[in-house]
């Protein structure tokens, strides 16, 4: 659900200024993903469908973080 907030956050940043708003959002996304990743095994998911859904969530999170960090002018690595 948090990933859906990106456009709203970007709109608020554009209207009100303050890149710290984007930083706070990105930190929230990263924290939520860390909690998810610790609780839900991705590559050892209980079924192929669950694994596919979890991989999609990982990709969407990575893309959201990459876009947000890129807007802040920070380069991101291709892989971790």
Total domain count, the chain: 1
Q: What is the CATH number of the domain that holds 36?
A: 1.10.730.10
pLDDT tens track for 28-47: 999 999 999 999 999 999 99
Q: Is residue 35 part of a domain?
A: yes
Q: Is residue 8 part of a domain?
A: yes
Domain span at 48: 2-71
pLDDT class of 78 with cuts at 50, 70, 90: confident
Give the pLDDT score at 75.
87
Q: Is residue 24 part of a domain?
A: yes
Q: Is residue 6 part of a domain?
A: yes
Left (φ > 0), alpha (ψ -120 to 50) or beta: where does 55 sit? alpha
Left (φ > 0), alpha (ψ -120 to 50) or beta: where does 73 sit? left
Those residues whose C-beta lies under 8 Å from the C-beta of residue 70, and which sit 6 or more positions away, are: 76
Of residues 70, 74, 80, 68, the one with CA closest to residue 21: 68
Q: Is residue 76 part of a domain?
A: no
Q: Is residue 79 part of a domain?
A: no
Q: Is 58 exposed, middle or buried (0-12, 13-18, 19+ CB in 10 A)?
A: middle
pLDDT class of 79 with cuts at 50, 70, 90: confident
Looking at every residue in the chain, the average pLDDT score rounds to 94
Give the pLDDT score at 80.
67
Give the pLDDT score at 74.
92
């Amino acid at each position: 659900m948090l990933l859906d907030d990106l456009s709203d956050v970007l709109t608020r940043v554009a209207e009100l200024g303050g890149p710290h708003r984007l930083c706070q959002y990105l930190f929230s996304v990263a924290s939520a993903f860390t909690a998810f990743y610790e609780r839900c095994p991705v590559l050892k998911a209980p079924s192929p469908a669950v694994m596919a859904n979890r991989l999609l969530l990982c990709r969407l999170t990575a893309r959201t973080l990459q876009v947000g960090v890129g807007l802040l002018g920070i380069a991101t690595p291709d892989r971790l």
